[in-house]
Structure formats: C-alpha cells, structure tokens
Amino acid sequence: MTTVKMRRTFAKVGVVSGLVVGGLFAGLPVLWLLSTSFKNNGEVFQNPPQLITEGFSFDAYRAILGDGAQLRFFLNSYIVAIAVTILTLLVAILAGYAFSRFTFPFKKTINAVIVSVQAVPPITLVIPYFGLIVALGLYDTYLGLILTHMVFTLPYAIIMITAYLNTLPRELDESVKVDGGSGWTALWRILVPTAVPGLIAVGVYTFMISWNEYLFALTLTRTDEMRTVPIGIQLLMGQHSYEWNQMMAMSVLGSIPVLLLFLFFQRRFIGGLTAGAVKA
C-alpha cells in the first residue's frame, strides 16, 4: 500500500516538475515581452535583467496609442479580419451545405481541389497576385487583402463546417421541407442556428489567420493607409530600431484581440479545431 502511494507521489512530482519546466519554456518569453513593454527604453538591456524596473510606466503604450499612424494599422487589421471572417463564414456555409446534403457529379473532385488548395505555398501565389491584383485595380485596397486572405481561410472553414453539418441529423431539414419550406430556408432557419458552436470555432480560427497574415499584406499594399498590424510592427523595427519598449507595447496591443477571442471561446475553439484537424 505505502509503496504504491510513494510511487504515485514520485510520479506526480515528476509530472509537475516536467510541466513547470515546459511552462517556463512556453511562458517566460511572453512574460519578458510584457515586462519590457513597461520599461523605459534605457532599462531594456540593463545588467542584471529585471522583470519590474524603477522606470515602470505606461509611456510606451501612450506613445503607440497617441500615434495616429499606428492606430490606423489597428483599424486596417480589424476591418480586414472582420470582413474576412464574415465573408468566409457565408461562403463556407453555402459550400458546406452542398457537400453535406447533396450528392452530385464531380463532388469528390471539387472536394479534393478544396483540400489541396491548403497546401499551395503562398510564395507561389504572391508573384501572379502582384500582377493580377494590379490588373483588377485592387492593389493597395482592403478588397485585395480580403479576397487573398479568403483563399487561405476558406478551405479549412469548408472542411470544418461540412464535418459539423454532417453531425446534424437530416430530419432537421426534412421537417422544414414537410412544412413547404425550401432547402434554403432549412439551411438558414434551422441548420445555421443549430451549428453556432461549430461556426464560432471556424470564425475564431479565420479571424486569427487573417489578423496574422504577413506576406500578402507586405506585397499587396504600399501605403500606411492600408497596412496591417504585422507590417506596422515590422516598420517600427526599421524606423526606430532602438525603441524596444514601444515595439513590445505595439506587440502586446496587436496580440490582445486574438488572446481575448481565444480565452473567451477556448473550449469550443479547441474542440472544433481538433475535430477539423483530425478529419481534414
């Protein structure tokens, strides 16, 4: 009895110390990001390093939030990411409904194309996009960014929504059709409201991809009026390469939307994500 107990205690100590070491690996860089954003710039590389310094202040945040150019990057990121999320959900709901409730010629082919689109390297597309987006008059516009982001958010969204709709019984749509409603009514009145948990997971993931996108934002926009937060952080690195506290403050501010979305929808998000990843 006692040996079993002792072995359990040993095992527990082992697991907890493993978790703490891993937690430091994962968490310390983030803590340092936060700590540096409150320092005054002269203290960033002080020796020995300190987590909370004498010059602790919100000055770096004030500098970022008081700068219209930086705020514009945030506005742009919000506009693009929210538009991408809404449009991706709309288009993916329609496609997911087709895949989940109909059989039709070329279904497998179209599905295979959508799955394989996920593997196409963005760097392969960025060269023709440069020509195409200019030709379409979408260079340096929100629409150019929104459409190119959707190419990468849509496949995953369709796969996840199709999988989710497949779990909803067909009797749900049939009941609407018996009452004389069409498939269209069944989709929007019954299926979409029932699928809200799955749609939230897809929406959060879509927002994350768009908010974080870098390569297209770098190549398909030219002016500060259109640039997004990731490019803004990079520009800050080039302009005043020594204002580390401001770079960190901007990074913290730029991470808040995704962090909040994740914390708020954690359970649904992880559930939906893994369901999609395992079945994809």
Partner 1 sequence: MTLTAPETSTRAAPAVPGRSRSTLTRRLVPYGYLSPTVLLIVVLMVVPIVMVIGYSFRDNVIVQENSVFAGFANYTKVLTDPSFLSALKNTAIFISVSTAAHLVLGLAFAMMLNSPLLGGVTKAIFRIVYILPWLFTIAVIAVIWRLLLDPAGVVNHVLQTLGLIEQGVNWFSDPSMALWAVSFVNIWAGYPFFMISLLAALQGIPGDLYEAAAVDGTNWFQRFVHVTLPQLRPVIISMAVLDLIWTSHQFALIWMTTGGGPLNSTEMLSTFTYKQAFSEYEFATASAAAVIVLLLTMVLAFFYVRSQRER
Interface positions, 115-174, toward partner 1 (CB under 8 A): 115-117, 119-132, 147-148, 150-151, 154, 158
Q: Min. distance of Cβ 196 from partner 1 in angstroms?
A: 20
Q: Min. distance of Cβ 114 from partner 1 in angstroms?
A: 7
Q: Which of 63, 110, 192, 200 binds partner 1 (CB under 8 A)?
A: 110
Q: Do residues 211 and 229 make contact, with C-beta atoms less than 8 angstroms apart?
A: yes
DSSP state of 42: G
Distances (CA, A) of 259 to 62, 205, 207, 253: 21, 12, 12, 10
Q: Min. distance of Cβ 225 from partner 1 in angstroms?
A: 19
Nearer to partner 1, 194 or 255 (CB): 255
Q: Do residues 140 and 220 make contact, with C-beta atoms less than 8 angstroms apart?
A: yes
Q: Give the whole-angstrom CA distance, residue 35 versus residue 53.
A: 9
Q: Which of 4, 52, 178, 263 binds partner 1 (CB under 8 A)?
A: 263
Q: Do residues 160 and 198 make contact, with C-beta atoms less than 8 angstroms apart?
A: yes
- The closest of 210, 204, 87, 212 to 145, measured between CA atoms, is 210
Q: Min. distance of Cβ 134 from partner 1 in angstroms?
A: 9
Alpha helices in 38-67 (DSSP H): 59-65
Q: Min. distance of Cβ 45 from partner 1 in angstroms?
A: 4
Interface stretch with partner 1, choices 62-70, 161-169, 176-184, 192-200 (CB under 8 A): 176-184
**Which two tokens mark 163?**
């999988």
Contacts (CB under 8 A) with partner 1, residues 11-70: 11-12, 15-16, 18-19, 22-23, 25-27, 29-30, 32-33, 36, 44-45, 47-49
Nearer to partner 1, 44 or 168 (CB): 44
Q: Give the whole-angstrom CA distance, residue 238 versus residue 205.
A: 30
Q: Give the whole-angstrom CA distance, residue 113 versus residue 134.
A: 26
- Which residue matches tokens 């049939």? 174
- Check the CA dihedral 182-88-265-75 and report its sign: negative
Nearer to partner 1, 21 or 196 (CB): 21
Contacts (CB under 8 A) with partner 1, residues 194-253: 208, 211-212, 214-215, 219, 229-231, 233-234, 237, 244, 247-248, 251
Q: Min. distance of Cβ 108 from partner 1 in angstroms?
A: 12
Contacts (CB under 8 A) with partner 1, residues 79-108: 90-92, 94-95, 97-98, 102, 104, 106-107
Size of the site for partner 1 (CB under 8 A): 95
Residues 6+ apart with CB under 8 A from 56: 38, 39
